[in-house]
Chain A
Amino acid sequence: MKLVAAFVRRDFRLERSYRLALITSFAGIFSTLLSAGFLSRLVPGDTEALRPFGGDYFTFALVGTAALSYFSVALGSFAGSLSQEQQMGTMEALLVTPIDPKLLLVCGAAWPFCFATFQLVIYIALGALLFHAEVAVANLAIAGGMLLLTMAAFSAVGLAAAGLIMVVKRTGALLGFVGSAFGLLGGVLYPISVLPRPLQLLAQALPMSHGLEGVRLALVPDPDLSAIGRDALALALFTAVLVPLAFWGFEWSVRRCRRTGSLGHY
């Protein structure tokens, strides 16, 4: 835990030194909230597709966009923190310490996760306070659990991207494509039941759709616990299979970079 705290402290200090970036990242929350608010004026609320999620479109879109930005952190933060070390020239200095590179990878993503959690809380709180999003506070613990499970499943993809960035050095475009594909198929702005059948099947194979569905179902009064349980099981399976594979891939990448002498390259 001391090591995680050291990474969080370092990254908070670095983040704080870029004041404008810090301020604008908060300003982005308001623009997203407003977009969801205006969009909800156009979309009729009580449609059949929205009914399992409480029927309110603003709440549906708010939870979707807030969770997507949260999951994007899981997708991009591991590779992002490595890329930052490579570009700052500090990668070799990290790797000559006795800490296992896998641990360095996980600790490097600690601050982005903390910051994203803080942003998520602000999203939901402001959505509820200013725009009257209908969030069942009693079920926040279940929603939080689903969120954590989804993060774990998403982290597997993020860890795989970190392994990739060690070797190919730039993964921004690839991660952008993966993120937009998750946005399209994961049910951020619409339930996946409105997608054509083949795309629905594809969506079921993504952790995103199970994560969002589980979080949304948990936030309505009288949640369908069996549906949430099915989503949780799917996410746990994703995590159990993908995370060890992703760590193995990362170890392979580090070994390959040691062979090619490109650990510190970017």
Chain B
Amino acid sequence: MAASPPETPQDAGLPAVEAVGLVKQFIVRGFVAWRPKGVVDALRGLDLSVANDTVHGVMGPNGSGKSTLLRILATLVTADRGRAAVGGCDVEREGGAVRRLIGFSTGDERSLYWRLTARQNLEFAAALHKLSDPASSIETTLSLVNLGDHADRPVSGFSQGMARRLGLARALLHRPMILLLDEPTRSLDPVSRSEFHQVIRRLRDDAGVTTLLTSHDLDEAAAVCDRVSVLRAGQIVDDVQRVNKRALAKAIGTL
């Protein structure tokens, strides 16, 4: 009897995210298109494996390639060389399947419709994901990020922290298996940041959601990550498995 195909990467023994030899260069264009001003090496043969049901951090200085990595995994940017898979699906060849599996938040409040309410933003996102019961998904997700009482307020009246949480709610709305978060707590106050960490941990523990997040913050990585990869000049230079602030500081070279 033929075995039925695995439904999740866990079933198939695959990592949630896998990248092998990723290379990405960005060309800095001049006024004349065929005479570029220079080339930026964003990723230089990056290898990464993220285990299922974990919170995996990626740390590194500005320009080290963190956001490029997340954008390649989210199918927004194409790698020049190498391959990457999310939930067992190849990001190049199975882009649609990858986008069904992931929730992506850029951490940029501008990615919301500011003149709409929180609920209206999520109603639109629910339609894009073709959710069968959008109203109940929206209620549940807004409660999860503690925005239930602000559902009908325009986003323009939100604080940065609230807007970030709404961005997270949008990424979570369709119950993704894998969350990709680009500096999700940048410029949040300590209370909002702590609430955010609780949500991420709860998603891992209660729903088995794997999170890959980028951060500059040692405290954040120590508080929420099970494992941290340190990125420098487009390559993973260290992998911290027993995450604590001292080990992280040593790995990123601030100790």
Contact = CB atoms under 8 A, between A and B. Distances in A.
Interface of A: 2-3, 5-6, 9-10, 13-14, 17-18, 88-90, 92-100, 255, 258-261, 263-264
Interface string B107-132: 01011111110001001110111100
6 contacts: A6-B123, A89-B110, A93-B104, A96-B104, A258-B75, A261-B68
Main secondary structure of the interface of B (DSSP, over half): mixed
B129 A10 contact: no
Interface residues of B, number: 33
Interface of B: 24, 26-27, 68, 71, 74-78, 96, 99-100, 102, 104, 106, 108, 110-116, 120, 123-125, 127-130, 170
Contact of B128 (A89, A92, A99, A259): A99
Contact of B113 (A3, A6, A14, A18): A14
Most buried by B among A6, A9, A10, A93: A93
Contact of B116 (A13, A98, A260, A264): A13
Contact of A96 (B68, B78, B102, B108): B102
B113 A10 contact: yes
Contacts of A99: 128
A98 B110 CA distance: 21
B112 to A, nearest CB: 7
Main secondary structure of the interface of A (DSSP, over half): helix
A97 B100 CA distance: 7
B124 A258 contact: no
Contacts of B99: 96-98
B123 A89 contact: no
Given A10-B120, A261-B68, A96 B76 contact: yes
Contacts of A100: 96
Given A96-B102, A98-B99, A263-B76, 19 more contacts: A2-B127, A3-B128, A6-B123, A9-B124, A10-B124, A14-B116, A17-B116, A89-B108, A90-B112, A93-B106, A97-B125, A98-B96, A99-B128, A255-B78, A258-B76, A258-B77, A259-B77, A259-B78, A261-B26
